[in-house]
Amino acid sequence: MSTTFETTTQPRELSSSGQRLRSLARAEGLQFRRNKTLLFMATVFPVGIPLVLFLMGEGTAMQAANSFDMFVFYVLMFVQFYTVLAMATTRRDERVLKRLRTGEARDWEILAAICAPGAVLSVVFTLVIIPLMMLLGAPAPVNVLLIAAGLLLGLVLSSALALLSSVFTRNAEAAQITSLPVMTLALLGLGTLRPLFGDGLLAEVIAFTPFAAISDLVGVGWAGATFTQLMEGVSPQNFGGSFAETWMSLLVLLVWIGLALFGVKRLMRWDSHR
């Protein structure tokens, strides 16, 4: 009798958790659409700028990889990171987060709901821009699995860093300042900028930053090699070789995600600074 009871109630509990998450995510999505500034930043920049850069180039694999790398940068920073930072800070100052914690929703469900609108929009944009770039003359990606891994893990990382940054953000206006460290780190990780640092100690340090790892996954996933490797004349990898080329980047990214999620669990602020 006891075993039967546990078996029948577990799916119901999981279903209830899923229903709560969908309900919270739907509410956050509505708030997201009402914020015209965030909506503009999350739609025009990520799609428009990379496409313009690609059309200005020659349509090579390296040009396609660089344009898509820029697309991922804008998606992670403006569609996901900044919107989650602004929304988490606003909900906290309005004491919405504190009220939600007194209900049935668990902490991870509340935070996941804040991250959901930007993540869904990012995936939709990606599913649109890859075939669009190919229609405009870009060669097909070498390994779309690496691109998917870079994007999805990047969304998790950006969400965690946004929630961490909200701890030090007093209000939504202050997010313009507190977002700068993460955005600068992401900018330094772009494949097109990293050759500027040469091959010294600074370049090695930047190579182990999370957004550099994402850039490498995206670059190898599309062109079979990173921007630096292509500039040095290294032959691109095939589908199988691309996995061996990026295992270290994947490991670096997973370590950073683990540290960021641990920081959110320990430091997340649920009540207003006021």
Q: How confident is the prediction along the chain (274 residues), in pLDDT tens digits per residue? A: 444 434 444 444 444 777 777 777 777 777 777 777 767 777 777 777 788 878 887 778 888 899 999 999 999 999 999 999 999 999 898 888 888 888 788 888 899 999 999 999 999 999 999 999 999 888 999 999 999 999 999 999 999 999 999 999 988 889 999 999 999 999 999 988 988 888 888 989 999 999 999 999 999 999 999 988 888 888 899 999 999 999 999 999 999 999 999 999 999 988 776 6
Q: Which two tokens stand for residue 18?
A: 């899923």
The CA distance from 273 to 182, in Å, is 22
The CA distance from 156 to 237, in Å, is 27
**SS3 helix, strand, coil % of the chain, rounded to 5?**
80, 0, 20
Which ranges in the chain belong to alpha helices (H)? 2-34, 36-56, 61-74, 82-93, 96-101, 107-135, 144-167, 175-178, 180-188, 201-207, 210-223, 227-231, 239-267
The CA distance from 25 to 185, in Å, is 28
**Rounded to 5 degrees, what angle do the CA atoms 166, 169, 173 make?**
115
